[in-house]
Amino acid sequence: MSRPRRILITSALPYINGIKHLGNLAGSMLPADVYARVMRLMGNDVTYICATDEHGTPAELAAQAAGMTVQAYCDEQFEIQRKAGEGFNLSFDWFGRSSRPANHALTQHFAQALEARGLIEERTSKQVYSVDDGRFLPDRYVEGTCPHCGFEKARGDQCDNCGNLLDPVDLINPYSAVSGGTNIEIRDTNHLYLLQEKSQDEIRAWVNKKGANWPSLAVSIANKWLDEGLIARSITRDLSWGIKVLGPDGAPRPGYEDKVFYVWFDAPIEYIAATQEWAEATGGDWEALWRTDKGADETEYVQFMGKDNVAFHTVSFPVTLLGSGEPWKTVDKLKAFNWVTWYGGKFSTSNKRGVFMDQALELLPSDYWRWYLIANSPEGSDAAFTWEGFQAAVNSDLANVLGNFVNRITKYAASKFDGQVPAAGEQGDAEAWMTAELAERLPRLIEHYEAMEFRKAAAETRAIWAAGNEYLTKAEPWVKYKNDFDAAAVGVRAGLNLAALFGILALPIIPDAGKKILDALGIPEEHRNLPGAKPDTDFAKLLDALPHGMPITPPDVLFQKIEDEQVAAWTEQFGGGN
């Protein structure tokens, strides 16, 4: 018997300032959760790590606007985000915080290791200082006209229109995104720079090797940065909230008393720090996940993120890990997503465009949203959220296809077969047809999940549910019950086994519904495993796996249909529509 695979999963850290919208959820945390659930159902040893990203200017400004200290603000927002994750059934093994001591210590360690190997140096740079705000402005808080394409709302770090990386001093007609003030100056300031260009060849070789397991979107973004040539990037900022900068001797670095590490340097390191916290709390072995000298070569490391995070995870973070000269595990599979769009534009936290996680849960249970977002994952291109599409997916896929099947077969078994799995009869042509469907579709479903092709996985899941409905049409147990009890018993028995299978297939995407089905059928936890992954799977047995005579109980209605009146009300409340 093969050993379970050891799999480490991380999803991009949600930023601390405000509840996340459905686009954030669909682009990292939700698919990571679905993948983690599938891998667990296949018997693998899975550790899913996430955390809030709590440093940087946005946290300072949000706290200031709320009249709170930054620490108190982050404490409050962490609890909000943790509860939202629970509400959406995100099965984190650990949900940490980048502001905790473990990340401070590890970030400072990496900086010292990189500096010792000649990959960090101090430079004097020109930076935008806002006289009106009385502070240096981080790159993203300087806006102006892009020197490459003329886009008038370019940020100082990157133009969202043409995708070019920018230096804020290159912007035309720059202004403060904090106050809107144009009274800005270019001043000298000292910072530490990560000399990424020294790692150009090493990172190119690493991307060429690992990129075989990445979608084309991730590979193309990484190669774009490499083709343009890696440059030295500042890893410190003129801020008070963050991880303090130490010198090579471990003491506070002179001249850096009012500086901290750049959030994009410390945030990915939190993946490791959060895993250390998980290990401390649970007795787990974090080194077996992260240190190749401690067994991490046997670990599969899988990352999930939106396309805007790819460059940092395929260049900057690998420069940190590989450049340290220490035996750190780097990502094996990287799944990148496009955007979920909201009626012609992006979901936006800052502009409050779209539906946010807490609002969504006030409207409907999490399964409704989880199904729609996975079935419409923004994989090959951006995916548009529409109320009409959401309504159609829920009503058709969940209420009609899955819910109707489970409702019909369990209620019929309760009324005609004393609420038990019937024992009579032998399988016939209808069961042979269904067996062939399962033999073809279940391995294909697993292939989609292994490839992290979530749209295809959801479509295949629905197709299996639909095949179950077609089976009941072929088997006709309610018709045969009048004249051929044994044939009816076979149809009901196979139908109940399919209901159990459908509940298991539901668990990764719609876990609440899957649990309701399996609880009603009395399926023990130890038998809630995903079949079809092994070449010797007996697919015919899947139609006769439940013990004969086992009692079952029809579950409550799994899904309520979304009515036109609800769509109209939500359109009025949140916008959208034609």
Q: What is the 3-state secondary structure (H, E, C) of 389-441?
A: HHHHHHHHHHHHHHHHHHHHHHHHHHHHCCCECCCCCCCCHHHHHHHHHHHHH
- Tell me the three state secondary structure of residue 210: helix
The conformational region for residue 476 under phi > 0 = left, psi -120 to 50 = alpha, else beta, is left
The CATH code belonging to domain 386-543 is 1.10.730.10
pLDDT digits (tens, 9 = 90+) for 414-458: 999 999 999 999 999 999 999 999 999 999 999 999 999 999 999
Distance from C-alpha of 491 to C-alpha of 477, rounded to nearest angstrom: 5
Distance from C-alpha of 482 to C-alpha of 467, rounded to nearest angstrom: 25
Of 39, 60, 320, whose CA–CA distance to 203 is shortest?
320
Low-confidence stretches of the chain (pLDDT < 50) are none
* Contact residues for 35 (Cβ-Cβ < 8 A; gap 6+): 9, 302, 304, 335, 449, 452, 508
- Tell me the three state secondary structure of residue 529: coil
Question: Could you tell me the end-to-end alpha-carbon distance of the chain, in angstroms, rounded to an integer?
Answer: 56
Distance from C-alpha of 307 to C-alpha of 170, rounded to nearest angstrom: 24
Residue appearing with tokens 């210590």: 105
- Tell me the three state secondary structure of residue 353: strand
119-237: CATH class: mainly beta
The conformational region for residue 575 under phi > 0 = left, psi -120 to 50 = alpha, else beta, is left
Distance from C-alpha of 94 to C-alpha of 362, rounded to nearest angstrom: 25
Distance (Å) of CA 247 to CA 192, 358, 446, 559: 11, 43, 50, 59
For residues 515 and 367, the answer to whether their CB atoms sit within 8 Å is: no
Same topology, domains 119-237 and 386-543? Answer is no
Alpha helices in 88-164 (DSSP H): 101-116
> What pLDDT sits at residue 577?
58
* Contact residues for 406 (Cβ-Cβ < 8 A; gap 6+): 499, 502, 503, 517, 555, 558
- Tell me the three state secondary structure of residue 110: helix
Instruction: Locate the domains of the chain by residue range.
Output: 6-110+264-384, 119-237, 386-543
Distance from C-alpha of 323 to C-alpha of 261, rounded to nearest angstrom: 17
pLDDT digits (tens, 9 = 90+) for 214-259: 999 999 999 999 999 999 999 999 998 999 999 988 899 999 999 9
> What pLDDT sits at residue 213?
87
Residue 162 assigned ligand-binding role: yes
How many C-beta neighbours within 10 Å does residue 366 have?
21
> What pLDDT sits at residue 356?
93
Quote the tokens at residue 322.
Answer: 């590989």
The conformational region for residue 522 under phi > 0 = left, psi -120 to 50 = alpha, else beta, is left
- Tell me the three state secondary structure of residue 548: coil
> What pLDDT sits at residue 203?
97
Distance from C-alpha of 359 to C-alpha of 343, rounded to nearest angstrom: 18
Distance from C-alpha of 502 to C-alpha of 517, rounded to nearest angstrom: 8
CATH T-level assignment (fold) for domain 6-110+264-384: Rossmann fold (3.40.50)
> What pLDDT sits at residue 353?
78
Residue 50 assigned ligand-binding role: no
Of 445, 491, 446, whose CA–CA distance to 464 is shortest?
445
Residue 19 φ then ψ, to 5° = -60, 145
